[in-house]
Structure 1
Amino acid sequence: MSTHFMGEGNIGSDPEVKMLSPNGNQPPRGLLRLNVRFDNPVPTENGNVDKGGFWANVEIWHRDVEQWARLYQRGMRIMVSGRMVLDEWKDSEGNGRSQFKVQAVRIGILPFRVAQVVFESAQGQHTPRQPPSQQGAYSKSAGPDGEWDNPVSTNAGGLG
């Protein structure tokens, strides 16, 4: 059983990462698990009032989760999109247990409680942010590999 889920909440503990060894020619896969408290804000005349949210484990699978785990910190505000699934298992005494968890497709960091963001290259060196290009909205460097061409030339229609 599963259903689409989108929610906003705070990370309650440090991220957990598990890397799984590849089978055959497949690249390694990783699991990032976060414990998140999702809010249930109810609008009132005096603003929003939290009417009892809930805690849920959030899991996302990807090969880069070890790097992502460095981004997420306890207390950080995030937006999660994915599906809610019922996880069922037997405990050590053989009793049936169940719990809802979120299998995330996306986890976005919201700007609340973030003190600083520093971008680093893959080699760990600081990469200063470049000013926007003067060539237009879609300059050659706009794509991840520079594959987008500028649809408007700098001299379009005899202007400039």
Structure 2
Amino acid sequence: MNEIYVTIQGRVGSEVEFRQAGQVSIASFRLGSNPRQFVRDKGWVDRPTTWFTVECWRGLAENVKESVGKGQPVVVFGKLKTTEWQDAEGNPRSKTVLEATSIGHDLTRGVAMFTKRAPQVGVQTSSLEEEMRELSEFVDSQAEANPFPPQGSEALEADRRAA
């Protein structure tokens, strides 16, 4: 099965809805995207708005709850997922959701201030998060050991000596 990843620029069209499913945090909101088109005699005009339901999970959901509000310009990256079911009358229904893996404010529209979230004690992290933390610690330790690593031909010579 192929997965479809997209990046969408738009404005948050609803308040962020936040809920817990057991230990898992889930946030969702509506995202409106207005493409613009240049028309020779009118200049730039807005095309009809395309609406998406955005869902995000776990730490991203927590951060969205604290950071994103209705009307704010955002850029969302994630995977399109379609759910199909039958309603009470037996009619086929479907819903397409953008399952976000990254959400950020659109800095072409304003400025933002980033605050790193403190690690939560007792919260299980994914293996990717573990690997990234270990890599970050390794890179930091290497920078402390040698804050000015060799560059260019010096780096090649250092690699040859190490091999």
Bin of the TM-score, shorter chain as denominator length: 0.5 to 0.7
Which residue number corresponds to residue 32 of structure 1?
A: 27
Alignment of 1:1-160 (within 5 A): 2-21=3-22, 28-45=23-40, 47-63=43-59, 65-111=61-107, 117=113, 119=115, 147=140, 149=143, 150-151=147-148
TM-score by length of 2: 0.62
TM-score by length of 1: 0.63
Kindly report structure 1 stretches of 4+ aligned residues shifted beyond 3 Å. Answer: 43-48, 111-122
Give RMSD over aligned pairs.
Answer: 3.1
Deviations 1:71-123 (A, max 9, x none): 1100000001112222223334432211222111111112466687585875x
Structure 2 CA distance, aligned partners of 1:58 and 1:84? 9
| Number of residue equivalences | 128
Task: Tell whether the 8 Å contact from 2:15 to 2:69 is kept in structure 1 after alignment.
Answer: yes
* Equivalent residue letter for 1:87: T
Runs of 5+ consecutive residues of structure 1 not aligned to the other structure: 22-27, 123-143, 153-160
Aligned identity (percent) is 22
Structure 2 CA distance, aligned partners of 1:102 and 1:121? 24
Structure 2 CA distance, aligned partners of 1:81 and 1:34? 14
Runs of 5+ consecutive residues of structure 2 not aligned to the other structure: 119-135, 150-163
Of Structure 1 and Structure 2, which has the larger fraction of its residues in helix? 2
